[in-house]
């Protein structure tokens, strides 16, 4: 194995390959990390994509992002002042790095430093009441003064009011689409002001128009960037509650502002309180919980571990419960006769395992642990099979580490 | 010892003595029970009062309620349709029977059956908002339909609205003064309607005009009558929070309606939620907690134990942690030379113990346990000393089982 230099920033070529890989069809954050674990480098994974998807049962060749497409994204990014930070690079937000399905590449407009500060998410109803908006303002100002960056989703109502109140102390807006397609329209005027002391981030291709399903997906980044998420006014079933659920799944704190039993906008937050969320009726309620967590600096130690790799760390333990180095599969830089023979044997094993796994999957999501137990396969086998099935567009991850068969009707 | 008939109702003579004893100066519910434990009967305790108060250091003779005074109270009660139920009699509310300082005698106007049903207290702000009043109405109706009697304090705002909404399913109003001095004035018209299917109760002499300090004292009965107390809108420091504190001390459930962080009327209830109160934004929130408790019927077993006494049980274990029969003091029906000699010895012991205890007491309340430990006296000694000191008006009980020296300025 080649001795790799102790560097933590990607080279321009590596970053280019990372962007190509994550922009390719059916490559989500988890599959990206699994491919890095299997191939060691994005370039090698890109070469392997067509064959992996074929093995997974893809009905047509997988669409690999073209060199031209990624060149165009990088050119447009430079033009509008957007740069890319890869998972594990020093500029990557340390709290976000720890979530399942952390974006391998984050597009950033604004100040990188804003991503390094402790943050609190404030989210809530678009049709907020005057009292709700006033409270969002008060809370965002107070948290800003206490040294927290305020994260939100740029939506009308509570989100925009929170951003606005935290402009000078620093706020992060997370887009559901690409940086060149900001949404909603009334947030556009706010963006340069946010970028002045804070940041706008997106995991999507720079020209991506956000669709409905992109918003819940985006919400995991809102909660993931923060030590805790505060919900102010939320009806039952609203997007803010999805953000709160992500926060809980990510082991972050959840706060909810109480509201009158007669106010439908308080039903969601009152439900959160019933479920054990921290009550938030003043800035101190948040500080009392988060200041001690912030003092422990829970995310910095992971940065240490990243220093010794040529490409940033991708901590596969959070994905499969194993260290990639403990169960090495064939790697691109590991060639030779012996390796080739092993590859053939592994491929045969992998096909049998994949069929068993596929037969066990259905539209209801199951955990990877349960799946491995039911299929009686090793973690290594399930890992390979899931890469192939996901690249073939036949399985998808749903909340946490659960996978489900993609329903045919969902392939729109 | 005389064999006592197995009866549970007081005779008219006993009831008369009970009333005289509890209406006498410095005889609170705890001292009443301690005297019953010491003398076995209210009549014997009445005879002993002057001497006990003298020993306790009273500066002037104790005022023992006169026969005429009690005859007048009973006559007025009959005239206005009020009757008296003694602690331990079958009609006494089983939940109230379990609290520290349960009133030895309860004056009742209305239906005795209402006192036997499972109950929920609903209390809150006098200056309630329209939303708060509407919610009180909705909650009281829902709880009534679910078979709960609604207890409250007859105050303007939330209290009266809760009573009104539960008129037909049954509601209990607890007066801070006597039954012939209903307060507040606007509740007077409500009383006959409450009494029709529910009850008005009071522990005070029938013509007692309520003063400021009687309201918090009354609040322990509001919470004590119920399996749980629900607070709807309460500013910090308001009386409703005292009721909630009593409920918690009595090991009853506490519920609080959430409210906007910007509404001062919600500060108290939001504080309760922070402290772990159950969130109450709909009837089901209360039923989910109380229905299982109600099904266990937690108070009925104490009724069983009361069946074998000629006067109702007073369960001194809740007062001093001992059964009166395990540590008998000289009793009125236990006379003879040997007993007399023992009395003399006990009195000498008691004086020494009382002085040590008095020296240790101050205006800050201390628990009886801590006091016994610091004074290095037995539970029996502290019990006797506290009876004497309380009858002398020199100590008073404060919240739970804590005692304090009465400040001279408080003797108005």
Q: Does B131 contact A260 at a Cβ distance shorter than 8 Å?
A: yes
A258 touches chain B (CB under 8 A): yes
The whole-number pLDDT of residue B3 equals: 37
The whole-number pLDDT of residue A57 equals: 87
**Candidate from B131, B270, B285 with C-beta closest to A279:** B270
Written as six digits, the tokens of A77 are: 């990014």
Q: What is the mean pLDDT of chain B?
A: 86
If you write DSSP's letter for every residue of B70-136 in order, what string do you get?
HHHHHHHHHHTT-EEEETTSTTS-HHHHTSTT--SEEEEEE-GGGGGS-EEEEEE-TT--HHHHHHH
Task: Find the closest chain B residue to A285 by CA distance.
Answer: B274
User: How would residue A399 be classed by pLDDT, with cut points 50, 70 and 90?
Assistant: low
With beta carbons under 8 A apart, name residues in chain B contacting A285.
Answer: 274
A358 touches chain B (CB under 8 A): no
Q: What is the rounded CA–CA span in Å between residue A132 and residue A294?
A: 27
CB of A386 closer than 8 Å to CB of A406: no
- Scan for tokens 């109160």, then name that residue: B277
When pLDDT is averaged across residues B110-115 and rounded to a whole number, the result is 97
A345 pLDDT exceeds 80? no
CB of B219 closer than 8 Å to CB of B242: yes
Percent of chain B with pLDDT over 90: 67
**Candidate from B132, B270, B285 with C-beta closest to A258:** B270
A262 touches chain B (CB under 8 A): yes
Q: What is the rounded CA–CA span in Å between residue A404 and residue A410?
A: 12
**Order of all β-strands in the sheet with A395-398:** A366-367, A402-405, A395-398
- Scan for tokens 């009443």, then name that residue: B32
> Buried (b) or exposed (e) across A110-139, using 16+ Cβ within 10 A?
bbeebbbbbbbbbbbbbebbebbbebbbeb
For residue A363, give the DSSP letter: S
**Order of all β-strands in the sheet with A149-152:** A82-86, A105-110, A199-202, A171-174, A149-152, A119-124, A228-232, A253-256, A278-279
Q: B177: burial class by Cβ within 10 Å (0-12, 13-18, 19+)?
A: buried
Residue B299, SS3 per DSSP: coil
CB of B290 closer than 8 Å to CB of B118: yes
Q: What is the pTM of this model?
A: 0.81
Question: A276 CA to chain B: closest CA distance, Å?
Answer: 9
A123 pLDDT exceeds 50? yes
Written as six digits, the tokens of B262 are: 């910007």
Helices (H) and strands (E) in chain A, counts: 17, 12
Question: B281 CA to chain A: closest CA distance, Å?
Answer: 5
The whole-number pLDDT of residue A405 equals: 86
With beta carbons under 8 A apart, name residues in chain B contacting A131.
Answer: 260-263
DSSP element (H, E) containing A106: strand A105-110
The mean-pLDDT minimum among A119-123, A190-194, B292-296, B381-385 falls in B381-385
User: How would residue B300 be classed by pLDDT, with cut points 50, 70 and 90?
Assistant: low
With beta carbons under 8 A apart, name residues in chain B contacting A257.
Answer: 260-261
B274 pLDDT exceeds 60? yes
Residue B376, SS3 per DSSP: coil
The whole-number pLDDT of residue B289 equals: 98
Written as six digits, the tokens of B189 are: 């018209």
Q: Does B258 contact A266 at a Cβ distance shorter than 8 Å?
A: yes
CB of A100 closer than 8 Å to CB of A63: no
Q: What is the pLDDT of residues B5-24, one digit of tens each?
A: 333 789 999 999 999 999 99
Which residue, among B97, B75, B76, has the nearest Cα to B85 in the 3D structure?
B97
Written as six digits, the tokens of A226 are: 């923060």
**Candidate from B134, B258, B285 with C-beta closest to A259:** B258
Q: Which of residues 277-306 of B touch A (CB under 8 A)?
A: 279-282, 285
Which residues, in sequence order, are CB contacts of A34 under 8 Å at separation 6+?
A316, A319, A320, A383, A386, A387
B292 pLDDT exceeds 50? yes
User: How would residue B63 be classed by pLDDT, with cut points 50, 70 and 90?
Assistant: very high
Written as six digits, the tokens of B310 are: 């000629």
CB of A145 closer than 8 Å to CB of A139: no
Q: Does A131 contact B263 at a Cβ distance shorter than 8 Å?
A: yes
Q: Does B260 contact A131 at a Cβ distance shorter than 8 Å?
A: yes
Q: What is the rounded CA–CA span in Å between residue A256 and residue B244?
A: 23
Q: Does B280 contact A260 at a Cβ distance shorter than 8 Å?
A: no
Which residue, among B231, B228, B243, B220, has the nearest Cα to B273 in the 3D structure?
B231
Q: What is the pLDDT of residues A8-32, one digit of tens each?
A: 789 999 999 999 999 999 999 999 9
Give B202's Cβ-side CA count (13 Å radius).
25
User: How would residue A190 be classed by pLDDT, with cut points 50, 70 and 90?
Assistant: very high
User: How would residue A75 be classed by pLDDT, with cut points 50, 70 and 90?
Assistant: very high
**Candidate from A257, A262, A273 with C-beta closest to B261:** A257
A130 touches chain B (CB under 8 A): no
A233 touches chain B (CB under 8 A): no
The whole-number pLDDT of residue A189 equals: 93
CB of B195 closer than 8 Å to CB of B73: no
Question: A259 CA to chain B: closest CA distance, Å?
Answer: 4
The whole-number pLDDT of residue A258 equals: 98
CA angle centred on B261, ends B257 and B266, rounded to 5° = 40
**Candidate from A262, A270, A274 with C-beta closest to B135:** A262
Q: A257: burial class by Cβ within 10 Å (0-12, 13-18, 19+)?
A: buried
Task: Pick from A129, A231, A267, A279 the residue to mutate for testing the B interface (most B CBs within 10 Å).
Answer: A279
pLDDT greater at residue A297 or residue A333 = A297
Q: What is the rounded CA–CA span in Å between residue B247 and residue B249?
A: 5
A–B: how many Cβ contacts below 8 A? 67
Q: Does A280 contact B267 at a Cβ distance shorter than 8 Å?
A: no
B276 touches chain A (CB under 8 A): no
B143 touches chain A (CB under 8 A): no
User: How would residue B266 be classed by pLDDT, with cut points 50, 70 and 90?
Assistant: very high
Task: Find the closest chain B residue to A130 by CA distance.
Answer: B262
The mean-pLDDT minimum among A231-245, B13-27, B243-257, B325-339 falls in B325-339
Question: A264 CA to chain B: closest CA distance, Å?
Answer: 11
Which residue, among B30, B112, B144, B88, has the nearest Cα to B395 in the 3D structure?
B30
Q: What is the rounded CA–CA span in Å between residue A114 and residue B10?
A: 77
**Candidate from B267, B279, B282 with C-beta closest to A273:** B279
CB of A279 closer than 8 Å to CB of A273: yes
Q: What is the rounded CA–CA span in Å between residue A382 and residue A365?
A: 15
CB of B107 closer than 8 Å to CB of B22: no
Written as six digits, the tokens of A39 are: 């191939």
């Amino acid at each position: 194995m080649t001795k790799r230099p102790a560097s933590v920033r990607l080279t321009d070529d590596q970053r280019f390959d990372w962007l190509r890989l994550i922009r390719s069809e059916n490559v989500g954050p988890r599959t990206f990390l699994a491919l890095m674990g299997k191939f060691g480098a994005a370039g090698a994974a890109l070469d392997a994509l067509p064959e992996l998807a074929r093995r997974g049962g893809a009905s047509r060749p997988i669409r690999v992002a073209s060199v031209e497409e990624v060149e165009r994204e990088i050119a447009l990014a430079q033009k509008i002042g957007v740069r890319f930070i890869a998972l594990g690079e020093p500029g990557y937000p340390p709290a976000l790095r720890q979530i399942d399905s952390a974006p391998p590449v984050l597009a950033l407009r604004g100040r990188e430093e804003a991503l390094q500060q402790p943050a609190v998410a404030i989210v809530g109803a678009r049709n907020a009441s005057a009292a709700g908006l006033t409270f969002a303002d008060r809370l965002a100002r107070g948290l800003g003064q206490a040294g927290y960056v305020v994260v939100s989703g740029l939506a009308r109502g509570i989100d925009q009011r929170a951003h606005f109140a935290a402009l000078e102390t620093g706020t992060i807006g997370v887009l559901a689409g690409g940086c060149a397609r900001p949404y909603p329209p009334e947030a556009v005027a706010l963006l340069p002001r946010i970028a002045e002391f804070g940041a706008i981030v997106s995991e999507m291709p720079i020209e991506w128009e956000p669709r409905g399903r992109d918003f819940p997906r985006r919400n995991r980044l809102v909660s993931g960037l923060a030590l805790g998420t505060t919900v102010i006014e939320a009806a039952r079933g609203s997007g803010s509650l999805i953000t709160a659920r992500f926060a809980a799944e990510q082991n972050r704190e959840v706060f909810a502002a109480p509201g009158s039993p007669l106010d439908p906008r308080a039903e969601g937050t009152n439900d959160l309180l019933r479920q054990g969320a921290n009550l938030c009726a003043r800035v101190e309620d948040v500080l009392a919980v988060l200041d001690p967590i912030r003092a422990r600096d829970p995310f910095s130690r992971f940065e240490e571990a990243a220093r010794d790799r040529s490409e940033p760390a991708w901590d596969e333990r959070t994905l499969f419960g194993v260290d990639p180095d403990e169960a090495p599969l064939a790697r691109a830089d590991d060639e030779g006769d012996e390796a080739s023979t092993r590859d053939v044997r592994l491929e045969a094993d992998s096909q049998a395992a994949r069929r068993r796994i596929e037969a066990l999957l259905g539209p209801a999501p199951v955990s990877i642990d349960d799946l491995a137990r039911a299929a009686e396969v090793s973690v290594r086998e399930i890992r390979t099979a899931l890469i192939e099935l996901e690249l073939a567009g036949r399985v998808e991850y749903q909340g946490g580490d659960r996978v489900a068969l993609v329903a045919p009707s969902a392939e729109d």
